[in-house]
Structure 1
Amino acid sequence: MRRGTRYGVLLGPLLAGGAPPDLVRRAARGLGLPERGAYAVVVLAGSVPEAAVAEGPDADGTRWRWCGPGDGAGDVAVVLLGAAGPPGALARLGKHGAGPGGMSPVVGSLAELGAARRLAGTALLTCAPGTREVVRLDERLPTALLVSRPELSARLLAEVFGPLLALVPAERAVLVGTLEAWLECGGSMGRAAVRLRCHRNTVFNRLRRLERLTARSLSRPRELVDLVLALDVLRLSSAPP
């Protein structure tokens, strides 16, 4: 039976939140799941491969209950986590090419699925356009704060990266790519140069120019936070860097 047709009626009220205790108990029986346990909600955008939607149990005991699309998103899964925890569930989704998607923090009961559903939706919003990643909210909290307040995100981007965004796209992409590489290499000029296949001094000069344009220093922690958050906003933008 196609996902969503079997469990949608039972999962719908739980995912909406505020279900009374007697409804939670009836839903638990109908779903074949315990009222209390280590649960997470996954929200996926777009179509999901059939191979990804088996109910389980998986090898580690993880069990899945799928619900059809809702709120403009793709399929939603309630996951009773097994021994491998959230990483195990994410590995299964990645193996089958499901995504982009977001996973909620772990909650302790079916009665908490409403809040988990909302947080999973927020996690989905932190996925960059065009990616197939499925991400945990707990690993994207700063970015989740940004997507939760789009008007402030837009202001942050304009305030921090305004002069950078005024450059021609190719020039801007070089500076943004250098900053990304430097951050991914733990602030090492040498490692960033190897990744970018250029001289260490080239990385240094690009980053100094970026500092001048943004009026922020990579060596000052608070100003570095501004740059990292603005970079996240730019990454989530539909426009290329």
Structure 2
Amino acid sequence: MAKLNKARFSSLSAVLLCICGCATTPPSEDPVLLKLTELENRLVTIERVVNNQSLVSLQGQLDQLNVEMRELRGQIEVLQYEAQEAGKRQRTQYLDVDGRLQKLERGGLAAVSTGATPDADGSDKVAYEQAFELLKNTRYTEAKAALTEFATAYPDSTLADNASYWLGEAHYVTADYAAALAQFEKMIGDFPASSKVPDALLKVAYCQYELKQFDQARNTLNSVINTYPNTTPARLATQRLQQMQKEGR
């Protein structure tokens, strides 16, 4: 019986020694823990690389989106201008027909022209429409050249103010904000009575914003609002001021 107890004691002691030996193995040397730590480190590295790649990809997409938005804004302005011009032409045609009818009613047949009234602008209108078509088709480099040539060839044309404005727009859409700013300011100085001045002044503010001239942009936007209240440029200026306030600029 004593021998049996002694054997049991010896076995128990061996087990305890084994357990104690395992328990005293430093955690840092545990192969499972080491492997887990290695995997965690690799995962962190991989996540960092993936995140960086995602940010680069996202930034690229944002840059492309900004370019497309600028082009879209330019195309919208072109369409709006065409709609306005179509309305003006319709009103002009109506007034012309109405005037001729009144002459006929008064018996003034001799005063009525038998042919179409010649275009008052002549070749300048053709040149302008060709340049405007280039702009409409997003052929901006060619449009810039054509509009610049128009300004040189037809400085006294009734379309000179429009050509000057669209030249600034061509610079703006292609993100050449310094050139656009100079052109819009020149247009305002050369044609202060033009109906395009409110739009040009708004674009001056937009260019100043893109060039990070935030104080000047804010002053110009307020000038648009105060000088041309209840107009589309004034509404857009208000929206940009609200945007700048949200951005803390």
Give the shorter-chain TM-score range: under 0.3
TM-score by length of 2: 0.21
Bigger relative contact order (CA 8 A; separation at least 6): 1
TM-score by length of 1: 0.21
